[in-house]
Structure 1
């Protein structure tokens, strides 16, 4: 149980581990934990849409794929040009302390191999999460997001993810909550009387 407590604290470190690629994009900030959560939701969705894969396995791959970064930090594409991280050692050292250590090791190995359909969907979920973040920053005026997007798309491995990426890139990231046709943004209610507004403030 003590080792599990250590494991949970280690996973918590991901909340304080930044995704470093945004330093080069010039705007944005996201922790590895935030990235992993949305990746898991995307992975679940892709798996259900695919209909031929083990949904739980895709979720497991998504949830655990960046756990080694609690020990290694997040190395972006520029970092990886010059820094060689011993990820396998990080995986093995953690696995040695876990009652499900061999399963953890196999999960990371499957993700890295990119051979199973589940691992391809998990990788695509990882990239789609980045594409969503890029679109959010593009909508806020970051012109470099347009330059990064094609490279993310080229990393996608399934037609399903490619189709989804196209729709993400053409969808306003605020449309899910902002409805221009609603009186809500004027009245603060559906229907109802308008909120009184002094003439000199309107």
Structure 2
């Protein structure tokens, strides 16, 4: 039996939507999709100091977005806006690369220019530009929460990388933790610093056998 037999598809459109579609630069949109795909091959710059690191920008943004959603609910701010900030906060690094603390002392990455050039011609350009401007200003509760999500992901990575190296773990995490602003992020950071990175696995086994 053909499941599509007898199925009627109704396409709703308006002259306005059709005209809007015609003026969209489909090549620009498609190229942007391929550009953001390169983020999974862009290794993060802390690899300069840390051996055997496979973390990339795409992985980082994924984790930050999930952390951001949870923080937004804990801090009772606009979840949708936080999610957008987290998703796009490092997208321009497809053009600038990821700069670590050392690099930033000597390099002007022209991040604003890269952001604007990257999204120009996209149907979401104005929205993304506005959301990134708000994120960079760090004045709204959503921008603060999104940045805290970024920092918490750093702390999780540091806990994994330096779990058996207490001295370096403390130095790196002290430096990251001081940037946190929200109460929720500070409480989570404290727990991260006390945690075994494999505790979730051990707890799963306990839960299943109890």
Normalised TM-score (structure 2): 0.82
Give the 3-state SS of the residue equivalent to 1:85 in structure 2.
Answer: coil
CA distance in 1: counterparts of 2:116 and 2:71, whole angstroms: 29
**Corresponding position of 1:11:** 36
Task: Pick from 115, 118, 124 the counterpart of residue 148 of structure 2.
Answer: 124
- Would you say the 8 A contact 2:85–2:132 is kept in 1? yes
CA distance in 2: counterparts of 1:97 and 1:24, whole angstroms: 38
CA distance in 2: counterparts of 1:72 and 1:134, whole angstroms: 24
Structure whose residues are more often helix by fraction: 2
Give 1:27 shift: 4.6
- Would you say the 8 A contact 2:163–2:169 is kept in 1? no
Count of residue pairs the alignment pairs up: 184
Runs (4 or more) in structure 1 with deviation over 3 Å come to: 140-143, 179-182
Does 2:38 correspond to 1:38?
no
Computed over aligned residues only, the root mean square deviation of the Cα atoms, in angstroms, reads 2.0
Give the 3-state SS of the residue equivalent to 1:176 in structure 2.
Answer: helix
**Corresponding position of 2:123:** 99
**Corresponding position of 2:191:** 167
Change (3 A) 1:179 1:124: closer
Q: Which runs of 5+ in 2 are unaligned?
A: 1-25
Deviates more, 1:76-85 or 1:16-25: 16-25
Give the 3-state SS of the residue equivalent to 1:123 in structure 2.
Answer: helix
Q: Which runs of 5+ in 1 are unaligned?
A: 185-189, 191-202
